[in-house]
Structures are given as C-alpha cells and as structure tokens.
Amino acid sequence: MPEKIVAGNWKMNTLPEQGLTLSESVLGALPEILGCKVILCPPFTHLDRVIRLLKGTSVLPGSQNVSAYKQGAYTGEVSADMLAAMGIQYSIVGHSERRQYFSERGDTLKNKLVRLKEVGIIPIFCVGETLEERESGQEGTVVLTQLNEALPETLENSTELVVAYEPVWAIGTGKTASPEQASEMHGVIRQDLIHRYGSSIGGEISILYGGSVKPDNAAELFSMDDIDGGLIGGAALNAADFISIIKAFK
C-alpha cells in the first residue's frame, strides 16, 4: 500500500510568529495515532524555527522549493544541501504557481529532482492541467508530459518520490475536482509510474491530490482509488481545518 500523506503548503503566507503558532496548534491538536504521515511546508524564512519545534514529533518539515543548481553564484537561491543541513525531508517541486509565475519546467524541474536525490530529500512533484487544457480534453497528455520531462529513469524504492496531482483550475478557486475526476487522473499517473518503475515501485508511490481540499470533501477524495492523501493550500493555514483533513484518514 502506498503511504498515506497529508502535506500543508503554506505558500507565501504567515510571518514567522504566525507560522510557529500554526505549527503549535497543529501539534497540539494531533491525536497520538495518525492514519497518515503529516508534513508542513512553511516559507524559507521560518523553516529553521518550525523544524526545531517539530523535532521529535510525528510531523515532518518540508520546503516549498529548492534550487536547480548545486552551489555558487546564484543570488537568492536555496540549495538542496542547505535544506538537508537544516533537517528538511521533503520538498515541493514543480508547483503550478512556480510553473506559471516563474516559468519553471522541463530541465529546470529535472535538475531540481537530481539535486534533491543527491542529498536524500524526497520530492513532492506536482503535475496538473489548466482549465483550457481540460476543456480541450488534453489533461492526460499534459500530465504525462510533465511526468516525462522531469522524473528520473530509475528509482531504488517507492518512498523516494511523492507525486501530487493538482489541477490548476482547482487551486485556490474553491472548485474541487470531483472524486471521480481526481481518481481518474490518479489512475493515469499510477499507470505511468508502474510503466516507468515496475509495479513493486510504481504501484507503491504515494499520489496526493491538491486543489481546494477542505474538511468537508477530504474524506470522500481520500477514499478513492489511487488517492493516497492531499497537498493542502488554503485549508492548511487554519489549524482546525488542517486537523480535520488529517483526521479524514481515520
């Protein structure tokens, strides 16, 4: 069975104190036994403090981005080695907002995955189609192309990669993909992963759904075939909502 995961992507929200309060509230409200792995991805500026707070708990820290370069004269970039030295275990790569506003694609994303692999950080690799692409029936091709452009040729085990399907039209819009639409696309991704890595690895990689996941739709989405958890944006900024989403796995 693929591992069940709920990850919170705070995006460019919260100042450090708010981020710490949010993390404390999440930790305080978490039941002892969780039905899934929980990951928090704060902005870079509070990563270090959140990591210290999470240390020794069942909640793991992740970053929202990583440089495609290893080190050197790349002003403003944060390298995979720097993240690993801080204790980061996961990093989001290829989020649609990075694709849309920072023109990240293809080789850049592939290099980011290489950098993360070098230091043992697990990528949460995001794929998803725009509304236009879905309306013209291209969602499958778009997602397969995004996987093909960046994923490594081989993996040693299924826990080295997490994939997140995030239809761009569902992100921050309140328009969730229906459980059937999401499950259908997760099935397409699953088949591709099996084809690429074989069933013992490709069949076990966690595939998360992201796009307006809320407490009232999480349980149904998470009950669908090949939906192994969620990548949560807006609702991850509210501790009570995020906890209800985590509890949707119990």
Applying CB under 6 A, among 109, 142, 231, 248 the residue interacting with ligand 13P is 231
- CB count, 10 Å around CB of 79? 18
Nearer to ligand 13P, 2 or 8 (CB): 8
| Tokens linked to 79 | 């390298």
Q: How many residues bind ligand 13P (CB under 6 A)?
A: 14
Applying CB under 6 A, among 232, 239, 245, 246 the residue interacting with ligand 13P is 232
- CB count, 10 Å around CB of 148? 11
CB of 9 to ligand 13P, least distance (A): 4
Check binding of 14 to ligand 13P (CB under 6 A).
no
Cβ 105 vs Cβ 119: under 8 Å: no
> CA–CA separation, 8 vs 30, rounded Å?
14
Check binding of 202 to ligand 13P (CB under 6 A).
no
Task: Please choose, out of 22-30, 52-60, 142-150, 211-219, the segment that lies near ligand 13P by the rule CB under 6 A.
Answer: 211-219
Q: Which of 129, 139, 160, 166 is catalytic?
A: 166
Binding to ligand 13P (CB under 6 A) within 158-177 occurs at 166, 171-172
> CA–CA separation, 212 vs 217, rounded Å?
9
Task: Please choose, out of 152-160, 189-197, 220-228, 233-241, the segment that lies near ligand 13P by the rule CB under 6 A.
Answer: 233-241
DSSP 3-state of 7: strand
Q: Is 186 a catalytic residue?
A: no
**DSSP characters over 90-138:** EEEES-HHHHHHS---HHHHHHHHHHHHHHTPEEEEEE---HHHHHTT-
Binding to ligand 13P (CB under 6 A) within 86-145 occurs at 95
Provide the binding-site residues for ligand 13P, judged by CB under 6 A.
9, 95, 166, 171-172, 210-213, 231-235
